[in-house]
Amino acid sequence: MSQILYVILGVVAGISGGLFGIGGAVIIIPGLVYLFGLTQHQAQGTTLAIMVAPIGLLAALRYYQSGNVNLSIAIFVCMGFFVGGFIGAHFAQYLSGPVLKKLFGVFLLFISMQMIFGK
């Protein structure tokens, strides 16, 4: 069941990546911390492993050497991210620039408030 939830997290991150140009730091890291109980270090290391080629290869390797990368999570989230990115990019084409900009701002505000005031 966890693998399905990891794929769903990847799909959500992929959609936001395709739609807003973001995903890893804004979606996957908080998702891994708040939904799956990873530490901030583990979430960051796992996220870097997801986006390893070629982004973050050396950083992900360093996190991996420190024991802060969960490869099994990274594989499943990556599968979802791959598909979700296509879906998000598709829907972004139907939004006007101003609407997309406003949605992006609201999205970032929500995430930042959760990071600042959440548990």
Domain extent at residue 11: 2-117
CB-count exposure of residue 8 (10 Å: 0-12, 13-18, 19+) = middle
**Residue 27: both structure tokens together:** 């979606």
Residues in the chain: 119
**pTM to 2 decimals?**
0.69
Query: pLDDT tens digits for the chain (119 residues)?
Result: 899 999 999 889 888 887 877 776 788 988 999 999 999 889 988 888 888 676 677 878 888 999 999 999 999 998 998 999 899 889 989 998 889 889 888 988 998 999 899 87
**Residue 5: both structure tokens together:** 């939830």
> How many structural domains is the chain composed of?
1
